[in-house]
């Protein structure tokens, strides 16, 4: 009897403390300083409106008032940090070669038309600008715009050089970097802990484990950005969504239900950790993400997202 009372009161105490701290995390954690806040994020510069990761795309996005550019980095054979998504050039240039085997001067231009990775059967027709830019070009052109950098290869030189460029252009407070691989994120953090990092995939799983066990409110976190997909958008990407097997459907539903949690988003944002959801390309999804309390949305269609934000009247 006595033991039962003891267990019951302990469990009740834990549940109540956890719930209290989930709702009011600053009772335990100092709110992180948030150097910038992004609602509108242009994925690869807005891959649906310009050729992805080109200066033309970045300029278009910044001109229409994006809060943040999202881009990807690789290293050329001659050690230049370039902004492009794939390690292999076939999809984007039609040339069968790896970026790491070519010097910057040898890199071929982009094709005139590229598929939009996150939008089924959508092709982006490019303009004049088909050049793969240097990271330095982007930093020089947009000194005030926050940039989200995906480190696309596990290469120490790449990480070091990106950090050096970030420092040189004085934008540690305007940068977030990382990768889905935890190893890469740890290297980034070790290289320069003053540049904020995002949660790698294993750390996202850990975060969910902590959240659902009630431990999250007690645990300190080093990451300042949670960047996650909205699992339900997978039906936008498949050629034939009605053809998904039952088990796939269940997995997508489960992932969506576990990940898209308002209580989780609110807790993190109250701790000063921003939540970005990718890659959303229509209004229904924008609305869902913001209703859930996400800080920002990554989109291939910056104009569409800008119009949406203006419509709901919270655009800057």
Residues found near ligand NAG in the complex (CB under 6 A)? 75, 77, 79, 100, 150, 152-157, 179-181, 184, 239-240, 243
What is the rounded CA–CA span in Å between residue 112 and residue 130? 7
Contact status, residue 34 vs residue 279, Cβ threshold 8 Å: no
Q: Which is nearer to ligand NAG, 239 or 316 (by Cβ)? A: 239
Specify the residue for token string 């649906």: 48
Rounded to the nearest whole angstrom, what is the least distance from the CB of residue 80 to ligand NAG in the complex? 9
Q: Which is nearer to ligand NAG, 154 or 310 (by Cβ)? A: 154
Burial 68-88 (b: 16+ CB within 10 A, else e): bbbbbbbbbeeebbbbbbbee
What is the rounded CA–CA span in Å between residue 88 and residue 95? 9
Alpha-carbon dihedral sign for residues 9, 14, 18, 24: positive
Q: Which is nearer to ligand NAG, 184 or 216 (by Cβ)? A: 184
Q: Which is nearer to ligand NAG, 17 or 186 (by Cβ)? A: 186
Half-sphere exposure of 125 (CA within 13 A, CB side): 0
Rounded to the nearest whole angstrom, what is the least distance from the CB of residue 9 to ligand NAG in the complex? 45
Rounded to the nearest whole angstrom, what is the least distance from the CB of residue 313 to ligand NAG in the complex? 32
Q: Which is nearer to ligand NAG, 22 or 75 (by Cβ)? A: 75
Rounded to the nearest whole angstrom, what is the least distance from the CB of residue 138 to ligand NAG in the complex? 17
Closest CA to 225 of 208, 203, 206: 203
Phi, psi of 288 (to 5 degrees): -60, -45
Rounded to the nearest whole angstrom, what is the least distance from the CB of residue 238 to ligand NAG in the complex? 9
CA 198 to chain centre: 8
- Please state the length of the chain: 316
Contact status, residue 114 vs residue 126, Cβ threshold 8 Å: yes
Burial zone of 185 (CB within 10 Å; 0-12 exposed, 13-18 middle, 19+ buried): buried
Phi, psi of 196 (to 5 degrees): -60, 145
Closest CA to 204 of 219, 225, 177, 187: 225
Rounded to the nearest whole angstrom, what is the least distance from the CB of residue 4 to ligand NAG in the complex? 49
Rounded to the nearest whole angstrom, what is the least distance from the CB of residue 228 to ligand NAG in the complex? 11
Rounded to the nearest whole angstrom, what is the least distance from the CB of residue 247 to ligand NAG in the complex? 14
Contact status, residue 87 vs residue 98, Cβ threshold 8 Å: yes
Q: Which is nearer to ligand NAG, 198 or 309 (by Cβ)? A: 198
Q: Which is nearer to ligand NAG, 9 or 183 (by Cβ)? A: 183
Q: Which is nearer to ligand NAG, 49 or 150 (by Cβ)? A: 150
Closest CA to 106 of 82, 136, 86: 82
Q: Which is nearer to ligand NAG, 128 or 242 (by Cβ)? A: 242
Rounded to the nearest whole angstrom, what is the least distance from the CB of residue 163 to ligand NAG in the complex? 15
């Amino acid at each position: 009897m006595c033991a039962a009372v003891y267990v019951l009161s302990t469990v009740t105490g834990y549940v109540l403390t956890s719930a209290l701290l989930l709702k009011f995390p600053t009772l335990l954690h100092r709110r992180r300083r948030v150097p910038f806040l992004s609602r509108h994020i242009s994925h690869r510069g807005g891959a649906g409106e310009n050729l992805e990761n080109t200066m033309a795309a970045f300029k278009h996005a910044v001109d229409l008032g994006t809060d943040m550019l999202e881009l990807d980095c690789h290293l050329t054979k001659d050690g230049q940090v370039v902004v492009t998504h794939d390690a292999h050039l076939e999809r984007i240039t039609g040339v069968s070669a790896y970026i790491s085997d070519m010097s910057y001067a040898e890199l071929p231009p982009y094709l005139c038309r590229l598929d939009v990775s996150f939008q089924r059967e959508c092709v982006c027709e490019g303009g004049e600008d088909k050049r793969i830019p240097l990271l330095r070009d982007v930093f020089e052109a947009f000194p005030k715009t926050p940039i989200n950098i995906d480190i696309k290869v596990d290469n120490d030189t790449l990480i070091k050089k990106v950090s050096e460029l970030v420092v040189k252009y004085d934008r540690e407070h305007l940068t977030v970097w990382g990768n889905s691989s935890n190893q890469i994120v740890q290297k980034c953090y070790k290289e320069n802990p003053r540049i904020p990092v995002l949660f790698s995939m294993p750390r996202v799983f850990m975060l969910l484990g902590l959240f659902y066990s009630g431990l999250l409110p007690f645990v300190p976190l080093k990451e300042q950005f949670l960047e996650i997909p909205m699992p339900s958008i997978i039906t936008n990407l498949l050629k034939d969504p009605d053809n998904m097997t039952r088990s796939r459907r269940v997995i997508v539903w489960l992932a969506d239900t576990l990940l898209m949690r308002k209580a989780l988003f609110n807790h993190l944002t109250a701790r000063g950790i921003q939540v970005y959801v990718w890659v959303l390309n229509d209004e229904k999804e924008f609305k869902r993400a913001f209703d859930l309390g996400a800080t920002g949305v990554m989109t291939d269609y910056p104009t569409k997202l800008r119009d949406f934000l203006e419509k709901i009247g919270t655009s800057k």
